[in-house]
Structures are given as structure tokens and as C-alpha cells.
Amino acid sequence: MTTTKFKPGTICVQAGWKPKKGEPRILPIYQSTTFKYDNSEQMARLFDLKEEGYFYSRLQNPTNDSVASKIAALEGGIGAMLTSSGQAANFYAVFNICEAGDHFVCASAVYGGTFNLFSVTLKKLGIDCTFIDADASDEEIDKVFRPNTKALFGETLSNPGMAVLDIEKFARIAHRHGVPLIVDNTFATPINCRPFEWGADIVTHSTTKYMDGHASAVGGAIVDSGHFDWDAHADQFPGLTRPDESYHGLTYTRAFGKMAYITKATSQLMRDLGSIPSPQNSFYLNIGLETLHLRMPRHCENAQKVAEWLKVHPSVKWVHYPGLKEDKYYQLAQKYMPQGSCGVIAFALKGNREDAIKFMDALQMICIVTHVADARTCVLHPASHTHRQLSDEQLGEAGVAPDLIRLSVGIEDAEDILADLSQAINSIR
Ligand SMILES: *Cc1c(COP(=O)(O)O)cnc(C)c1O
């Protein structure tokens, strides 16, 4: 029986590590850089990618792979690779198919770190990114595609603006231009949305957030749907469809078929650039994943209560939460994540910037932290913290209003969260 046939809750608990007779029931931490073989020929075949097996943890490690396969099963993908951070996941996801001279398109409402990576660092590597308004028409988005465009990128739920991506529309546009759609599914998690079911080709994650869920370990993941036909656009993706000199002329699509993209990411990018998670961190991630299906509904239930409370509070200027009927993204959220979006709410208080800061400083249980999306309710002012390197214009592009407060609602008792918010708001008046 394959675990991919199971429901998501069962996959969270059961997928990944499959012990054989006498092996540990719980996923072991293979804290070893290297693996033993009986003779030189066996090792040589591994290096030629002619045989599967572990030889060096920078390329593959059994603990990491078990957790990667659980995430692949959750997303309904055919393979996944773990990375040491979400940043590394998004970098590799793009760099696996883009090289100097190439171009890709990104929905502008994305995480600040992703915005910097795409607009500054990838540019230095010769890869150009055009940011577009995700709500623009098909025709407007079509116009920014170029002959050298290699991918379209967006976040299921944007951090911190809480915009919902119209995945079907984005997939349609990407495929019309012969490129894959890459979706960062960090906030929704596969419990609430599985982008492959709506046409996305590659999914990325910062597992640091809900997947780990306890703020224990920074990590990331790339998942391959196996759906994109690289050979149908062979000239566009020579890295996958032409011989790789660093692997004795092996061609990924020919040697690995549907697994070409994810195999190249591991055997070429991870080999050359590193950024693997430690097996210890993957062990923590796996424990987090075992309860993801229990935590996400609670995050959504609590956030819905908090959003509705904020919505009618006289000191609150505005609230963005896709679970609110009046929200701009309510309909899209109903379509793509009918069970709920996540625990993150964006809102602003009436008054000036000092009032927002006073409010956050007055919170008692809820802490100001850079982190988001874990069991503990926390708060952040992106314009003064995570996004402070962006100009006002870039803030606008990234969907971050200067007065936006990002509230990440945890899984505590909703009454206690509301009580803390209430006393802190009242303290500024
Ligand atoms: C946090 C985050 C990232 C970056 O992940 P790290 O694990 O912090 O490197 C990428 N995308 C989204 C949507 C995020 O929230």
C-alpha cells in the first residue's frame, strides 16, 4: 500500500520513514557525512548516477530523504528535496532552470527575502526578474514575457499582505508561454492547498513556518509535480534536455524522465552549492509534520475569530484576512483553500506609526518576533523590521503598507489571544 493513497492527515503521521525488520520505529537521525560500500566499483556506479544510494550527505541523507518524501506525498508530487532554508529552496527552484541571460516573472506580492533574492542577488548572477501585479489581466501579464523567460513564480498566500494567488490563472499563463509555474506554498501548507491540483508545476516551502510549526529549525523544500514536459520545450531548458558535462554527458530528461527537474536540483545544484539541512533539523521538521493536520485547522479557527474581532474594533483601520467575507480575496480563498487559509492576519490601527509601535510594545503574551507561522501567537511590523531595506515604492510593490501589522495567530486559547490584543489596543487610547 502506498502512502500517497492516504488522506493528508494519515500522510502527515505515516509517510516517509518505513522501517524494515528490526529497524527503529521512529525516523533515525543519520548523523553521518558518509556511507560505506564494499568495493570501489559500487562507489563508482553511484558517482555515475547509475545506481541509487547514499554516499555523501551533501547530496543525499536517509533522514533528509524520508522527510522530503513525506512532503512530496503531502503535495501530491513525485519527488522533493530539502534545503537548509526557504531562501535556498526558492533560489534553487529558479536557478535549476534559469542561467545568466535568462528572465522570469514573479507576482509582486511576495516575501521580502524572496523579493531581495529575485530583484538584487539573482540580477547579479545575470538573471532578470519582472515583478507584476498578480491581479492584473492575462493580457497585461502576457506582455512582460520575453523569448528568454523561463518561469512564472508566485506565493499561494503572500507574506505579509495575505493576497491569494489565482493559481489556475497563473498556470494557464505560464503554460501558454511554455514555462513552468513555481508556487511558494509556505503559508497555506498542503493541508489547506495543493497547488499541483490547480496546475502548478513546482512547489517550494519555507518549512521553518507551519511545517516545523514550533520555531525549532530553519529549513526549506522543493517539490516536483513531474507534470511539466521539459522536452516539449527542449531549446528553452538546455540544462535539463541537453547533456550535462559535469555528469559525463548525462541528459536529465532522458535518464530520469519525469524526475528530471528534481534529480538535477539534487545531483547538480546541491552538489555544487551545498545548503543541505542537518539531519537533526530534518528530524525536528518530521515531528512538526506529524501534527500539521491538527494545527492548521486550529490556526485558521483562531485567526478567523481574531480577524472578525479586529474587523469591528473601533481602533482598527483595516484588516486583510481571506477568511473574512468582505475580503478582496475571499472568493479565491473559497476556491483554493475552502478549509481555511492560515493563521496570519494583516491589519492596521488608526493613528500614526508610533501608535502601532505602542500597541506592539504593550502586548504581554504575544511577542514581537521576526518569525511567523508557528504555535505561539506573534506580531511584527514589516516596514520597520523584515522589509526595512525596501523603499516606499518597493514596499508598495511587495504589497506591504507602511502601517501594516502582521499578526501570526497561534494555537493557544482564542480567548487569551483576544484578551491580550484588547488590553494592548486599549492602552494606546
Ligand atoms: C519565511 C519565508 C521564506 C524564506 O524562508 P526561510 O526559511 O526563512 O529562509 C520564503 N517564502 C515565504 C513565503 C516565507 O514566509
Cell numbers linked to 280? 537533526
What is the 356 CA–ligand 1 centroid distance (Å)?
Answer: 24
Read off the pLDDT of each residue in 154-177 and give the average, rounded to a whole number: 96
CA distance 114 to 93: 12
pLDDT digit string (tens) for 313-328?
999 999 999 999 999 9
Of 110, 159, 206, the one to substitute when testing ligand 1's pocket (max ligand atoms within 8 A of C-beta) is: 206
What is the 230 CA–ligand 1 centroid distance (Å)?
Answer: 27
3-class DSSP string for 131-189: EECCCCCHHHHHHCCCCCEEEEEEECECCCCCCECCHHHHHHHHHHCCCCEEEECCCCH
DSSP code at position 329:
T
What is the 406 CA–ligand 1 centroid distance (Å)?
Answer: 15
Among protein residues, the one with the nearest Cα to ligand 1's atom 2 is: 206
Sign of the Cα pseudo-torsion (138, 139, 140, 146, in order): positive
Task: Note the pLDDT of residue 45.
Answer: 86
Residue type, 344: V
Confidence grade of residue 52 (pLDDT, cut at 50, 70, 90)? confident
Asked whether the beta carbons of 4 and 11 are under 8 A apart, the reply is yes
Task: Please state, rounded to an integer, the average pLDDT across all residues of the chain.
Answer: 94
Cell numbers linked to 189? 501548507
Task: Note the pLDDT of residue 1.
Answer: 46
CA 50, distance to chain mean position in Å, is 31
Question: Does position 174 have pLDDT exceeding 90, yes or no?
Answer: yes
- Which residues' Cβ are closer than 6 Å to ligand 1? 85-87, 90, 111, 113-114, 155, 159, 184, 186-187, 206, 208-209, 218, 220
For residue 88, give the ligand 1 atom closest to its CA: 9
Task: Note the pLDDT of residue 94.
Answer: 98
Q: Please tell me whether residue 344 adopts helix, strand or coil conformation.
A: strand
CA distance 188 to 361: 29
What residue has cell string 533522514? 63
What is the 272 CA–ligand 1 centroid distance (Å)?
Answer: 22
pLDDT digit string (tens) for 85-123?
999 999 999 999 999 999 999 998 899 899 999 999 999
Asked whether the beta carbons of 302 and 411 are under 8 A apart, the reply is yes
Among protein residues, the one with the nearest Cα to ligand 1's atom 1 is: 206
Question: Does position 4 have pLDDT exceeding 80, yes or no?
Answer: no
Strand 128-132 relative to strand 103-107, pairing:
parallel
Task: Note the pLDDT of residue 397.
Answer: 72
Asked whether the beta carbons of 152 and 105 are under 8 A apart, the reply is yes
Read off the pLDDT of each residue in 419-429 and give the average, rounded to a whole number: 93
pLDDT digit string (tens) for 148-158?
999 999 999 99
What is the 351 CA–ligand 1 centroid distance (Å)?
Answer: 30
What is the 381 CA–ligand 1 centroid distance (Å)?
Answer: 16
pLDDT digit string (tens) for 370-422?
889 999 999 998 888 877 877 778 777 776 888 899 999 999 999 999 999 99
For residue 187, give the ligand 1 atom closest to its CA: 13
Task: Note the pLDDT of residue 396.
Answer: 78
